[in-house]
Amino acid sequence: MAQVQVRDVPRTTEVAGPAPQPPTQQVPARPATAPGAAPTFRAVLRHRSCGRLLTASVTGRLALGIVPVALILQAQADGHSLATAGLLAALYGVCPALGLPLLGRLADRRGLPLPCHLGAVLVAAALSALAFAGTRSLPFTAVCVVLAGAGCPPLEGGLRSLYPAVLPDAAHVRTAYTLDSSTQQIVYVAGPALAVATSTYLTPAAALALAAAATLSGSLVFATARPARTWRPLARRSDSLGVLRPPALRLLLFALVFLGGTVGALDVAGIAVAGRQNAPWLAGALPAMFSAAGLLGGVLFARIQSATAPQPRHLLVLAALFAAGWLPLLAPLPAPAVLALAVLPGALFVPLLTVASLTVTALAPPGTSTEAVGWMSSAIRLGVAGGTALAGPLGGHFTLPLAAAALCALLLCAPAPAEAAPAAA
Which DSSP letter does residue 121 get? H
User: How do residues 127-172 score in pLDDT, each as one tens digit?
Assistant: 999 999 988 989 999 999 999 999 999 998 888 888 888 888 888 8
Please check whether residue 421 is in contact with residue 4, taking contact to mean a CB–CB distance below 8 angstroms: yes
In the structure, what pLDDT confidence band is assigned to residue 13 with cuts at 50, 70 and 90? very low
pLDDT at residue 283, as a whole number: 73
Name which residue leads in pLDDT, 30 or 216.
216
Residue 196, judged by CB atoms within 10 A of its CB (0-12, 13-18, 19+), counts as middle
Measured distance CA(49)–CA(214) in Å, rounded: 19
Among 79-83, 167-171, 219-223, 234-238, the range with the most confident prediction by mean pLDDT is 219-223
At CA 234, angle to CA 170 and CA 247, rounded to 5? 75
List the one residue out of 368, 403, 355, 1 whose CA is nearest residue 181: 355
- In this structure, the chain runs to a length of 425
pLDDT band at 12 (very low <50, low <70, confident <90, very high): very low
pLDDT higher than 50, residue 27? no
Over residues 292-335, the pLDDT tens digits come to: 888 888 888 877 776 555 666 778 888 999 999 999 988 888 88
Query: Could you tell me which residues come within 8 angstroms of residue 26 by beta carbon, excluding any fewer than 6 positions away?
Result: none
Query: Does residue 134 sit in helix, strand or coil?
Result: coil
Decide if pLDDT at 55 tops 70.
Answer: yes
Quick one: average pLDDT of 363-385?
83
Rounded to an integer, the average pLDDT of 222-246 is 75
Please compute Rg for the chain using Cα positions: 21
Question: Per-residue pLDDT for 206 more than 90?
Answer: yes
pLDDT at 215 over 80: yes
Go through 345-369 and write b for each residue having 16 or more CB atoms within 10 A of its CB, e for each that does not.
bbbbbbbbbbbbbbbbbbbbbbbbb
Query: Tell me, what's the pLDDT at 30?
Result: 41
Q: Are 421 and 5 in contact (CB under 8 A)?
A: yes
Predicted confidence band of residue 60 (pLDDT cuts 50, 70, 90): very high
Task: Give the model's pLDDT for residue 127.
Answer: 94
Please state, as a whole number, how many other Cβ atoms lie within 10 Å of the Cβ of residue 51: 12
Please give the residue that has the higher pLDDT: either 3 or 280: 280
* 385: Cβ contacts below 8 Å, ≥ 6 apart: 90, 93, 94, 97, 264
- pLDDT value of residue 28: 40
Contact indicator for 409, 1 with CB cutoff of 8 Å: no
Q: At 124, is the pLDDT very low, low, confident or very high (cuts 50, 70, 90)?
A: very high
Euclidean distance between CA atoms 127 and 145, whole angstroms = 8
Q: Given this model, what pLDDT does residue 240 score?
A: 58
Angle (CA) 226-45-57 rounded to 5° is 60
Task: Give the tens place of pLDDT for each residue, 66-98.
Answer: 888 888 888 888 888 877 887 888 888 888 888
Res 222 pLDDT > 90: yes
SS3 assignment, position 113? helix
The pLDDT value given to residue 26:
40
CA distance readout (Å), 159 to 52, 154, 163? 11, 8, 6
Average of pLDDT values for 234-263? 78
Residue 205 neighbours by CB under 8 Å, 6+ apart: 74, 130, 131, 132, 134
Flag whether pLDDT at 108 surpasses 90: no
Q: What is the DSSP string of 234-303?
A: PP----SSGGG-SHHHHHHHHHHHHHHHHHHHHHHHHHHHHHHTT-THHHHHHHHHHHHHHHHHHHHHHH
Q: Is the pLDDT of residue 3 over 70?
A: no
Q: How far is CA 268 from the centre of its chain?
A: 20
The b-or-e profile of 102-140 (16+ CB within 10 A means b, else e) is: bbbbbbbbebbbebbbebbbbbbbbbbbbbeebbeeeee
pLDDT score at 264? 82
* pLDDT(383) > 50: yes
Instruction: Tell me the pLDDT band of 120, cut-offs 50, 70 and 90.
Output: very high
Q: Over 50: is that where the pLDDT of 25 sits? A: no
**What pTM, to 2 d.p., does this model score?**
0.77
Sorting pLDDT into bands at 50, 70 and 90, what band is 368? confident
End-to-end alpha carbon distance in the chain: 19
The one-letter amino acid code at 424 reads A
Provide the pLDDT confidence category of residue 21 given band limits of 50, 70 and 90. Answer: very low
Neighbours of 252 (CB within 10 A): 25
| Per-residue confidence (pLDDT) for residue 298, from 0 to 100 | 84
